[in-house]
Structure formats: structure tokens, C-alpha cells
């Protein structure tokens, strides 16, 4: 037997002394004596990219995560060589690169305080099983440092002391701490001494993150292949870190149609047509607002994608039209598995054009899903995505379906131990041919992308609406998402809350959970409390597994029906506020939900809070997460707030007990806020109304509020036909001033604002609108401190 210990003793390898460096435009290249190369690219003053090769050769620079629209450019770039290190300086950051071992230390350029530094730094291990490297990075954990992000992990918001894996996984009935689950978003935010930074490890192989779990002084991340390729994003405000990460990986390409932000009803499954109509008719009969009804896999012929079961749905086009006439948009499910069936045109065409994934030795990737044995399109191939997009023509353009829901796209495979494709399946990866080890985490993303392109094409001039279960960083450009197959338990209500917050701080705000739980059956109290939380998530849908029982809003008795109706109506009143919040997300990458730490990182009390969050910028929400509760303790952040239900004024920055019987939940409005509200509608566009309410919360001081509006669908808003109103509120002891500035060419049908003045410390004796005194009686509303005025006022003085 011949033995050689050189390979087995190799273990971790590290860069050695730097022997050369050179600069080319925005990129500096450092080469070590053992062939390690570091490319440091300055994308922005606050965004640096670090890319390592171990044998001087880099892979083709390709990423599904990074958007071509990402902002680039910097104000300053200086390089200084010293005896033991190189120093790269931008207007925001100072980066030290050690000549001894390529270790990196990053400082704030303003005050020269250390933000982040390598511990062991970059190292690697050769992978003999697959070839290539297992690439690793470890950073020093600073005393008191906290960590957030990483997508949909069902765990405490603060990741400190924990370890996680990124490998998108079909996780039916997952629980608290289950890992991995449906999403792979390898981005986290660190916070230390009121300075926040982000690290995005753009590597689609199976990856791991350890936040001072194995070793208290080290935070590390590694992947089972590919490159060590990460982006360092500096704040120091946490909200700026998240916005800049979202800029890098892409904001939603369009605003959603407003109906997509309404309430949606779903079940596995509503069939036949008579059952669908029974459910939708009941919504209208009880006057519970609802905008979308979903058809799960049973609408298909034998679960074959792009087909209809003609026994259940004999005339889908007529049915979809009738639902639309009654204000319901139809959303249907489409999975990736295509049934092996020579009589099916979709299967035959994909087979003829060689669009299905294959194993390493040539046979097709075959796996069991709902239709039985299936082949799977390779969505990482551009021609396949184009073909898939065109398959939607009949569903969308002809039949009139308005939304598509991509499920099982991890990809999920039944009755196999790993629940997905084997590692040896081959993928095109847009010409960067690879195995499933690299393509797995992006497979669902590329399916959702192809679906989005199909809907954008065939729904035109309407906007597309897509939902996906699986996602990688950047998927938020194309689609909304939900958190997967949860369970009807109080623990899962807590999980739904942290998942939606965590997704928002991971760049993916258009997210929600299956309200009420997918598996098992909630009682009325749990369903009511879940609705109360769900109406404050961007995606708001009840969904359940039908074999566990009924889960419509009226299935839990009159008391619960009344509570559910009340909160769904609140959602519909707040649609203009929610739409404005989405506009900020779409244009600036600002998260739609803000965990308290994201809202006020300076307050150490926020660093470990999980329950409370800010909806938009001015509404504080704290769900009730335990049964039999008549109230709860919560932490109200800095500033002053008004209790939404009582209008009672409360100082923030403290923990307090708040009453909340079953028909209420703790909601507080920020002082100075001006909150736009629509009349209650049964569905978006039901009513032509002439008046929008503005809830005005008095503040002694100044506050700015925004109200964005447009046609609620279509693309005219991209041509300037939108309405952006900025309200500047100034409160004094005896006067309230509201100045309005409007931009954009859109003019909505409503002509008046009803100002609901809350918390005024004085009685109104005099009113001036645009320097003209107006009689209070002429513009007084029906109750108390209400004023009804022309929407196009410039300056309002209330004295």
C-alpha cells in the first residue's frame, strides 16, 4: 500500500505574505506568495466587495443576486502603502489590509473607530469529494455585538450565539428553531456601539453562519464550494444598511397592483366551481372585504401544470370573469414538476427542446411530486425561462387569471431522504455550467423570475403579481413570498411575527404567513389574534390545509367573525398608508416593517425585543401572542404616541402594560403623524369616493408625513402620473400648521380631505386656508374636531 500524508494533513490553508498589489479603476488586487489573490472593489463609499481566489484564477463573475441597477460610484479613493499594511480610504471607510496574511480591518472614516475586523480571516480547505474549495471567513465578535437578518429563520430576531444553514428546504410543519427552511438569504447586519454594518456572502452553495456560537469571540461564515465573495455595507444607521443591501440585490421592479395588498383567501383546495362561488359569495354577503381567491393544485387535470380539471371547472374563463365582476382576482398555483406524460404538450415540448434537468451521467432528473413521476425544467437556462414565461399566455391573457403562486420550488421532491434533487444534477446557470450543489438555492428564484416575466408580458397593461415559497437574495425584485407550511399553534403566531420582521430586514418586505396556520386547526381566539397580526404584514392571506377543517373568517362563530371583519376593514382603511410604505420600499429600499432595533438602534432596550414592530414609519404594532390574554407588557420606543383605540397620549422609551381584550390589540400612532385612510370597500376599486380621511395626531414640534397615490395598477406612474403629497406638520400650544407640497401629474377622483384632528390642546376659534380666513362652521365635519377641505390646499392654520 502506498501512502502519502501530504493531502490528509493539509486541512485549513491561509494566505501568506503579500508580494504585489495593483490598482485598476475601482479595484485593487493583492497577490500573496502562495497564490491567493484578493480583489477589493469599491462600489460606493460605504460598500466594499471582497473576492478571494486560491490559485490566482477567479471564476466567471456572475451572480443571480446582484441587480444591474445597483448604485455605484464614490467620492474618494486613496491608497497608502505602509511597512506592514495597505490602507484604502473612501469618504466613509478606512480599510487596512495586512501584508502578512491579507487580514482586513475596517474603520469609520469620520471618527476612526473599528467597525469590523478579520479574526482568522479568509481560509479554505480543499474538497476532495467534489473538487474546488470549502471557503471560510471568520470575523472578530466585538463585546456586546448583536446580529440580525438571514431571511426566514424561525428564531429570535437577535442571532447572537446561534448557528444557521442556508439550503432551501421544504419544511412542512417546521417549528421554532427548525433550520434550514424555505429561504436562503446569506445577509446579516451587525450592530455594535451604535454603528451598524452588513455582510452579504454572495455564494449560492450550501452555506453556514456562526454568530459566536462555537467560539464566543468569532463570527464566521463558510460555503461548501464556490468563492469567498462578500460585500461589506456600512451604515452606520441600520436602516441604511438594509436599504443599501436592497439596492445591491434589487428593489421590487414594480409597485404591486393595489388589490395585491388587500386581504386574500386560500385553501388546499377550493373546488369545484360551486365551492369557489360559495366562499366568495359568503364574503360579499357578510361584507368582509376580500380581493383575491386562490386555486390550489386540485384545479388542474391530474395536477398537470397549465391544465384545468374540466369536471370541476368546465369553463374557467367564464368563472374567472364572473369572479372579477364581483371584485375577486383569481390566483392559481403552478409547481415546477412536469408530469411524465407523452400526451401532455408542455411535457413533449420541453422534452424535444432538451429543457429538463439531467443527472451527471445523462439520464433525466426524475422525482415524485403531486402529479406522480415528473421531470423538472432547468430554470437557470435563459431559453427555458423564456419558454416557461410564454406558457402563461393562456392562463393570463386568455382566461384572465391575475396572479400566480409558485410552490414546491425548492425544488421539493417527495419520498426521498433529502427532499430535493441529488447533488449530481446538472444546471446551465446562465452558461456557467454547474451541479445542483451550486444551483439548488437559486432554482426557485429563477422559476419565480420566469413566472414574473410571463405575467409581466401577458397581464400587460396590468402589473404582475407573483408569489414564491423558495427564495435566494434578490428574489424580491420579482415576487412576493409567504413563510411556508406553518402550524395552527400559538408558537407559530410568534414565529410568523419574527419571520415577517426578519424578512423585511433582509431586503424582502413583501412577505406574510399563512394566517391561522396551514397544518392543523386554530381555535377562534388564535385565528382572531393571527388576523390582527396578519393585517399588518405586506402580504395578507389566510391559507390552510383543507383536510384539517375550514378556515374562513366566519367559521369560528359570530364573535370571532365580527373581530376578523373589524381588522380586515382596518387593513382596507389603511391601504393608502400601506401603499405609500410600499412606494418607499420600491423607490428607496426602506423596509416596510421595522423591528424596534431597526427603528431605534441607539436604545439598547430594542436589541433583544422580538414582538413589537413599526408598520411603515408611524404605526407601532404589538400582537397578542398568548391565549386568554386581556393585555400584555410591551416596550414603546422613543417619542410620544397615541393609543389608536382611545387616542390617549403616551410617552415612549419605556416598558408598559396595555389592555387588549380579544377585539383589540396594542396599536399606537406616532405623534405628529398624518395617516391617510380610504373608506371601507369590499374590494379595491369597488367605490368611487370623493373624500379621503387624514388622521392628524397633534405634536408640539414638527413632523413630516407622506401620501403616495396613483391609478393602483398599470404603468402610468412610471411616466410621472402619480401623486406624492408631503405634509409638514408644525404644532404650537395655540396653533397647528399643516403645509402640503404635491408633485406628480396624477389627479385622483376624490376632491376633499376630511381632517380628523386628534389630541389638539386647544379649542378651535380661527382657521386660515392659504392665507384666507375660513368660517369653522363652513368646513366643520360631522363630529368633534373634523374639518373637510379641498385636497389641494397649500397651507392650513388651525388656531
- For the sheet with 795-798, list strands across it: 701-709, 723-732, 735-743, 795-798, 767-769, 772-774
Q: Which residue from 11, 61, 457 is spatially nearest to 254, judged by alpha carbons?
A: 457
Q: Mutual orientation of helices 345-352 and 382-390 as an angle, nearest 10°? A: 160
Active-site hit among 210, 296, 298, 485: 485
Q: Is residue 407 annotated as a catalytic residue, yes or no?
A: yes
CA nearest to 502, candidates 489, 493, 511, 514: 511
* Residue 184 and residue 201 in contact, taking contact as beta carbons nearer than 8 Å: no
Q: How far apart are CA 758 and CA 699, in angstroms?
A: 10
Give yes or no for a contact between 259 and 683, defined as CB atoms under 8 angstroms apart.
yes
Q: Which cell is 561 given?
A: 367573525
Q: Which helix (H) or strand (E) holds 789?
A: strand 786-790
- Reply yes or no on whether 663 is catalytic: no
Rounded distance, CA 228 to CA 231, Å? Answer: 10
- Complete DSSP assignment for 85-128: EEEEE-SSEEEEEETTT--EEEEETTT--EEEEEEEEEEEEE-T
- The answer to whether the CB of 99 falls within 8 A of the CB of 86 is yes
Q: Identify whether the C-beta of residue 425 lies closer than 8 Å to the C-beta of residue 359.
A: yes
Is 8 marked active-site? no
> Which position among 155, 410, 514, 703 bears the catalytic label?
410
Distance CA 169, CA 267 (A): 22
122 vs 197: CA distance, rounded Å:
19
CA-CA distances (angstroms) from residue 1 to 4, 13, 746? Answer: 10, 28, 82
Count CA within 13 A, CB hemisphere, residue 4.
3
Q: By C-alpha distance, which of 193, 289, 221 is closest to 574? A: 289
**Among residues 335, 407, 569, 695, which one is catalytic?**
407
C-alpha cell at 322: 364572473
Angle at which helix 436-458 crosses helix 382-390, to 10 degrees, equals: 40
Contact by Cβ (8 Å): 624, 532: yes
Residues annotated as catalytic (active site), given as ranges:
407, 410, 485
Amino acid at each position: 500500500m502506498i501512502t502519502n500524508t501530504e493531502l490528509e494533513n493539509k486541512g485549513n490553508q491561509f494566505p501568506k505574505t503579500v508580494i504585489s498589489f495593483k490598482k485598476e479603476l475601482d479595484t485593487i488586487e493583492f497577490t500573496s506568495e502562495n497564490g491567493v489573490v484578493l480583489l477589493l472593489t469599491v462600489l460606493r463609499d460605504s460598500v466594499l466587495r471582497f473576492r478571494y481566489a486560491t490559485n490566482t484564477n477567479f471564476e466567471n463573475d456572475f451572480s443571480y443576486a446582484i441587480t444591474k441597477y445597483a448604485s455605484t460610484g464614490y467620492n474618494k479613493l486613496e491608497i497608502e502603502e505602509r511597512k506592514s499594511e495597505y490602507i484604502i480610504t473612501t469618504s466613509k471607510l478606512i480599510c487596512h489590509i495586512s501584508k502578512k496574511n491579507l487580514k482586513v480591518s475596517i474603520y469609520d472614516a469620520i471618527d476612526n473607530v473599528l467597525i469590523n475586523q478579520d479574526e482568522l480571516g479568509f481560509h479554505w480547505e480543499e474538497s476532495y469529494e467534489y473538487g474546488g474549495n470549502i471557503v471560510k471567513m471568520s470575523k472578530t465578535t466585538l463585546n456586546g455585538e448583536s446580529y440580525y437578518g438571514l431571511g426566514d429563520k424561525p428564531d429570535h430576531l437577535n442571532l447572537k450565539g446561534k448557528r444557521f444553514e442556508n439550503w432551501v428546504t421544504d419544511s412542512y410543519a417546521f417549528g421554532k428553531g427548525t433550520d434550514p427552511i424555505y429561504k436562503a438569504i446569506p445577509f446579516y447586519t451587525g450592530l455594535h456601539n451604535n454603528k451598524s454594518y452588513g455582510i452579504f456572502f454572495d455564494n449560492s452553495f450550501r452555506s453556514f453562519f456562526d454568530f459566536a456560537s462555537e467560539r464566543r469571540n468569532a463570527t464566521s461564515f463558510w460555503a461548501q464550494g464556490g468563492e469567498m465573495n462578500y460585500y461589506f455595507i456600512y451604515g452606520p444607521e441600520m436602516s441604511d444598511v438594509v436599504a443599501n443591501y436592497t439596492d445591491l440585490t434589487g428593489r421590487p421592479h414594480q409597485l404591486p397592483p393595489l388589490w395585491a395588498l388587500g386581504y386574500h383567501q386560500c385553501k388546499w383546495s377550493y373546488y369545484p366551481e360551486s365551492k369557489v362561488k360559495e366562499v366568495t359569495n359568503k364574503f360579499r354577503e357578510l361584507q368582509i372585504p376580500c380581493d383575491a381567491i386562490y386555486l390550489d393544485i386540485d384545479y388542474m387535470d391530474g395536477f398537470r401544470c397549465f391544465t384545468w380539471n374540466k369536471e370541476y371547472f368546465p369553463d374557467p374563463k367564464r368563472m374567472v370573469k364572473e369572479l372579477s365582476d364581483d371584485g375577486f382576482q383569481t390566483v392559481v398555483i403552478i409547481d415546477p414538476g412536469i408530469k411524465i406524460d407523452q400526451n401532455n404538450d408542455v411535457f413533449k415540448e420541453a422534452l424535444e427542446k432538451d429543457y429538463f434537468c439531467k443527472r451527471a451521467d445523462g439520464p433525466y432528473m426524475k422525482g415524485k411530486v403531486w402529479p406522480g413521476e415528473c421531470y423538472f425544467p432547468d430554470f437557470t437556462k435563459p431559453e427555458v425561462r423564456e419558454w416557461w414565461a410564454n406558457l402563461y399566455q393562456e392562463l393570463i391573457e386568455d382566461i384572465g387569471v391575475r396572479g400566480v403562486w409558485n410552490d414546491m420550488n425548492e425544488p421539493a421532491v417527495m419520498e426521498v431522504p433529502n427532499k430535493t434533487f441529488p447533488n449530481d444534477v446538472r444546471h446551465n446557470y446562465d452558461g456557467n455550467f454547474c451541479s445542483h450543489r451550486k444551483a439548488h438555492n437559486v432554482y426557485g428564484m429563477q422559476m419565480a423570475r420566469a413566472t414574473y416575466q410571463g405575467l409581466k408580458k401577458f397581464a400587460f397593461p396590468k402589473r404582475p403579481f407573483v408569489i414564491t415559497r423558495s427564495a435566494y437574495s434578490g428574489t424580491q425584485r420579482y415576487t412576493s413570498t409567504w413563510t411556508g407550511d406553518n402550524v395552527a399553534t400559538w408558537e407559530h403566531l410568534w414565529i410568523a411575527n419574527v419571520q415577517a420582521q426578519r424578512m423585511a430586514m433582509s431586503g424582502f418586505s413583501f412577505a406574510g404567513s399563512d394566517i391561522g396556520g396551514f397544518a392543523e386547526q386554530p381555535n377562534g381566539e388564535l385565528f382572531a389574534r393571527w388576523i390582527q397580526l396578519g393585517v399588518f404584514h405586506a402580504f395578507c392571506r389566510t391559507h390552510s390545509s383543507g383536510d384539517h377543517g375550514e378556515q374562513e373568517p366566519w367559521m369560528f362563530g359570530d364573535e370571532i367573525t365580527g373581530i376578523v371583519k373589524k381588522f380586515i376593514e382596518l387593513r382596507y382603511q389603511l391601504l393608502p398608508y400601506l401603499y405609500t410604505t410600499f412606494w418607499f420600499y420600491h423607490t428607496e429600499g426602506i423596509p416596510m416593517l421595522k423591528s424596534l432595533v431597526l427603528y431605534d438602534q441607539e436604545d439598547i432596550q430594542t436589541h433583544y425585543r422580538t414582538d413589537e414592530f413599526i408598520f411603515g414609519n408611524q404605526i407601532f404594532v404589538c400582537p397578542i401572542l398568548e391565549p386568554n390574554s386581556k393585555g400584555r407588557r410591551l416596550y414603546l420606543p422613543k417619542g410620544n404616541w397615541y393609543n389608536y383605540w382611545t387616542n390617549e397620549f403616551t410617552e415612549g422609551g419605556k416598558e408598559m402594560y396595555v389592555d387588549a381584550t380579544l377585539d383589540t390589540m396594542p396599536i399606537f400612532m406616532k405623534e405628529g403623524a398624518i395617516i391617510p385612510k380610504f373608506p371601507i370597500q369590499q374590494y379595491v376599486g369597488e367605490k368611487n369616493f370623493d373624500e379621503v380621511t387624514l388622521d392628524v395626531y397633534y405634536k408640539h414640534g414638527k413632523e413630516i408625513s407622506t401620501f403616495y397615490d396613483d391609478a393602483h395598477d398599470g404603468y402610468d406612474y412610471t411616466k410621472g402620473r402619480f401623486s406624492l403629497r408631503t405634509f409638514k406638520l408644525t404644532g404650537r400650544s395655540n396653533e397647528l400648521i399643516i403645509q402640503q407640497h404635491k408633485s406628480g401629474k396624477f389627479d385622483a377622483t376624490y376632491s376633499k380631505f376630511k381632517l380628523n384632528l386628534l389630541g389638539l390642546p386647544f379649542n378651535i376659534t380661527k382657521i386660515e386656508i392659504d392665507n384666507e380666513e375660513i368660517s369653522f362652521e363652513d368646513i366643520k365635519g360631522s363630529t368633534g374636531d373634523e374639518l373637510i377641505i379641498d385636497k389641494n390646499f397649500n397651507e392650513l392654520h388651525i388656531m
